[in-house]
C-alpha cells in the first residue's frame, strides 16, 4: 500500500458515519485555499483553526488540495503562528494525533499586512496564486474561502481589498466566498449599511453570515423532529402548546470581555441572533423542500409575523459587580440578563408566547428549548399540580431530547408522578463524536450550502423586531434590575414567565442518565 493511500484510509477511519455521508458528495474542482483573516486573534485560534484541524483529521480537507493562509497585522512567522495555535488543537491520546497536528500546521502559511492597504493583500494574493500554481489548478477552477475572524468595523474595507486584489481570476468552476461573523451591526440602520457595503462587492450566494448556533447538532435536528415524526404534526400549534421557552444561561460573567460586551449587551450578543434563529426553526411552516432558499423563505415569514415587543413583556437585569470591571463604564445601562416575550401573529401561533431568556452569572449553564403543553382537560387523576407535559431539547451541555409526562407511580396505590421519555445523546450514541458547530458550518461553505446561514432579508427582519427595544435601552428609558451572581436572575423575570402562562414543575428535576 502506498503512503498516500494509507493516509487516506487512516483519515477516513476518524469519520463518523452520519457526518461523512452528508458530505461525501462535495463537488471536486480546483485546489482550495482557506484564508483566515485575523489569524492571530482569539476567535481564530480558539474556534477557526481547531475546526479546520478536525476537518483535516477526519479527511474532509486533503493535504494534496488544500492550503490554509493566516492574515493579520501582527508580524510573526509561520512557526510562531503554529505555536500559538498548537495548544488549541486538542490533547488526544489516540495514535497519530501529534503527527497529524504537525502535518496540519505545515499547511498554514502566514502573511502579515494591514487591513486597509493593497500592499498586504497583493502579497496574500501572490502567495495564494503560487499555491494554486503548485497544485496545477487550471485558471479559474480554484476555490478561495475567506473567513473573517475580525471585528465588523473592518468588514467593508477588507471586502474592498479582497475584491480588488484577491478574487479568483475567472470562472471555470471555481469560486470566491466570504464568511462573516456576528455581530452584523448594532441595529437595523447599521446592519443595513453593512449589508449594503458588502452587497456592492459580493453577490448573496458568495456571502455566508455565520451563526454558530445553526451548526449545533440538536438545532439541526429540529426540522427532522418536527417534520419527520407523525405524532408532532397535529400537536405543534396553538391548540395544544401553551408556551415556548428558548433559554441560554451562563454561570460566569464577562470574564475580561467587559469592554466588548458593554458595547452590545445580552440582547445583541445572544437573543437577537442565536435564540431568534432557534425560534424560527421551532415556529416555521414546513418548507416545500430542503433546499436552502426554501428553508430560509419560511424563516423569514416567521420573523415578519412577530408583533412589536411590549415594554411590559421585557425584564432586564445586570449582575452585581458587573461595573467593577475597569473596562465597563461606572454608570453602564447594559443588560447582562434579559427575558423577552415574542408573539407571532399567524394561524398556527396566535396567542402562544415565545419566551426568549438569556443571562450571564446565573446559577447554571445550559441552553435549551422548552415546549410546554396545555393542561389536560377533565383531570380525573388530580395531578395538575405536578406539572404539565413538556418537550425539551437540551442544546448544551449534555445534549438530550426528552419528553416530560405523567405516569403511574410504581406500587399498589393509584398515584401519579412526573417522569420522562429520554434520548440522551451520550448514552444512546456511545462512541459517536458530535461535530463542533464551526466544523459543520465551514464544511457547508466549502460545499456551497447556505441552509444554515443567515440571508440578508432574514437579518433585516430580525433587526426590525429588536431595534425599537434596543434604542429604548440605549437611551436609558429602560433600566436593568440588579441581581446577585449565582442566582436565577431578577425575581421579576419569574413573575413575567408566570404571567405569560408558564407553569413551573416543583419536585421534578431531569438528571442526565449515566452510561
Q: CA 11, CA 142: separation in Å to the nearest integer?
A: 23
> HSE-up of 60 (CA within 13 Å, CB side)?
28
DSSP-assigned states of every residue in 128-141? HHHHHHHTTPPTT-
Q: CA 417, CA 407: separation in Å to the nearest integer?
A: 6
Q: What angle do CA 183, 304, 475 make, to 5 degrees?
A: 50
Strand 175-181 relative to strand 32-37: parallel, antiparallel, unpaired? unpaired
The set of cell numbers assigned to 6 is 494509507
Active site (annotated) includes residue 131:
no
Phi-psi region of 402 (alpha: psi -120 to 50; beta: other; left: phi over 0): beta
Q: Which residues contact 410 (CB under 8 A, 6 or more apart)?
A: none
DSSP 8-state secondary structure symbol assigned to residue 142? -
Strand 353-359 relative to strand 66-72: parallel, antiparallel, unpaired? unpaired
* Residue tagged 503512503 (cell numbers): 3
Closest CA to 440 of 251, 237, 219, 288: 219
Q: CA 375, CA 125: separation in Å to the nearest integer?
A: 63
- Determine which one of 67, 131, 274, 452 is catalytic: 274
Instruction: Measure the CA dihedral 196/200/206/211, to 10°.
Output: -20
* C-alpha 19 chain-centroid distance: 18
Q: CA 219, CA 411: separation in Å to the nearest integer?
A: 39
Sign for the CA dihedral angle at 74, 76, 77, 80 comes to negative
Q: Where are the beta strands (DSSP E) in 224-363?
A: 241-249, 314-319, 337-343, 353-359
Q: Which residues contact 407 (CB under 8 A, 6 or more apart)?
A: 416, 417, 418, 419
Closest CA to 258 of 334, 194, 185: 334
Phi-psi region of 393 (alpha: psi -120 to 50; beta: other; left: phi over 0): beta
**Cβ burial 480-492 (10 Å sphere, 16+ → b, else e):** beebebebebbee
Q: CA 342, CA 340: separation in Å to the nearest integer?
A: 6
* C-alpha 246 chain-centroid distance: 14
Catalytic center residues: 274
Amino acid at each position: 500500500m502506498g503512503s498516500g493511500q494509507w493516509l487516506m484510509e487512516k483519515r477516513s477511519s476518524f469519520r463518523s458515519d452520519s457526518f461523512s455521508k452528508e458530505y461525501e458528495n462535495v463537488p471536486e474542482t480546483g485546489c482550495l485555499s482557506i484564508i483566515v483573516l485575523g489569524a492571530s486573534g482569539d476567535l481564530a485560534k480558539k474556534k477557526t483553526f481547531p475546526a479546520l484541524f478536525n476537518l483535516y483529521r477526519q479527511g474532509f480537507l486533503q493535504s494534496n488540495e488544500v492550503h490554509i493562509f493566516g492574515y493579520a497585522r501582527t508580524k510573526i512567522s509561520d512557526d510562531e503562528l503554529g505555536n500559538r495555535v498548537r495548544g488549541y488543537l486538542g490533547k488526544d491520546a489516540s495514535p497519530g494525533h501529534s503527527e497529524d497536528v504537525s502535518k496540519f500546521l505545515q499547511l498554514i502559511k502566514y502573511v502579515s499586512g494591514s487591513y486597509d492597504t493593497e500592499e498586504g493583500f497583493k502579497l496574500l494574493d501572490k502567495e495564494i496564486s503560487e499555491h494554486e500554481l503548485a497544485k496545477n489548478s487550471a485558471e479559474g477552477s480554484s476555490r478561495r474561502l475567506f473567513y473573517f475572524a475580525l471585528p465588523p468595523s473592518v468588514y467593508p474595507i477588507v471586502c474592498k481589498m479582497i475584491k480588488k486584489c484577491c478574487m479568483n481570476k475567472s470562472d471555470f468552476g471555481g469560486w470566491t466566498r466570504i464568511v462573516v461573523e456576528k455581530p452584523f451591526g448594532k441595529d437595523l440602520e447599521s446592519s443595513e449599511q453593512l449589508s449594503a457595503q458588502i452587497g456592492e462587492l459580493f453577490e448573496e450566494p458568495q456571502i455566508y453570515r455565520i451563526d454558530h448556533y445553526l451548526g449545533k447538532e440538536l438545532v439541526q435536528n429540529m426540522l427532522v423532529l418536527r417534520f419527520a415524526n407523525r405524532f408532532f404534526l397535529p400537536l405543534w400549534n396553538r391548540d395544544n402548546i401553551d408556551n415556548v421557552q428558548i433559554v441560554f444561561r451562563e454561570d460566569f460573567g464577562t470574564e475580561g470581555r467587559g469592554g466588548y460586551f458593554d458595547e452590545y449587551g445580552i440582547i445583541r450578543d445572544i437573543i437577537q441572533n442565536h435564540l431568534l434563529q432557534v425560534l424560527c426553526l421551532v415556529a416555521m411552516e414546513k418548507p416545500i423542500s430542503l433546499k436552502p432558499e426554501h428553508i430560509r423563505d419560511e424563516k423569514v415569514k416567521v420573523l415578519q409575523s412577530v408583533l412589536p415587543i411590549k415594554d411590559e413583556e421585557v425584564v432586564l437585569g445586570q449582575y452585581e459587580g458587573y461595573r467593577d470591571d475597569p473596562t465597563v463604564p461606572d454608570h453602564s445601562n447594559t443588560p447582562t440578563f434579559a427575558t423577552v416575550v415574542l408573539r407571532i401573529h399567524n394561524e398556527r401561533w396566535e396567542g402562544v408566547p415565545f419566551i426568549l431568556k438569556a443571562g450571564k452569572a446565573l446559577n447554571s449553564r445550559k441552553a435549551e428549548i422548552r415546549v410546554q403543553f396545555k393542561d389536560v382537560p377533565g383531570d380525573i387523576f388530580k395531578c395538575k399540580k405536578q406539572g404539565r407535559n413538556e418537550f425539551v431539547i437540551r442544546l448544551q451541555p449534555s445534549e438530550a431530547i426528552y419528553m416530560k409526562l405523567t405516569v403511574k407511580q410504581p406500587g399498589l396505590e393509584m398515584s401519579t408522578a412526573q417522569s420522562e421519555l429520554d434520548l440522551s445523546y451520550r448514552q444512546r450514541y456511545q462512541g459517536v463524536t458530535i461535530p463542533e458547530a464551526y466544523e459543520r458550518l465551514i464544511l457547508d461553505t466549502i460545499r456551497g450550502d447556505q441552509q444554515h446561514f443567515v440571508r440578508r432579508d432574514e437579518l433585516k427582519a430580525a433587526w426590525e423586531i429588536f431595534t425599537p427595544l434596543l434604542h429604548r435601552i440605549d437611551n436609558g428609558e429602560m433600566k436593568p434590575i440588579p441581581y446577585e451572581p449565582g442566582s436565577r436572575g431578577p425575581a421579576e423575570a419569574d413573575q413575567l414567565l408566570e404571567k405569560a402562562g408558564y407553569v413551573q414543575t416543583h419536585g421534578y428535576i431531569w438528571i442526565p442518565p449515566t452510561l
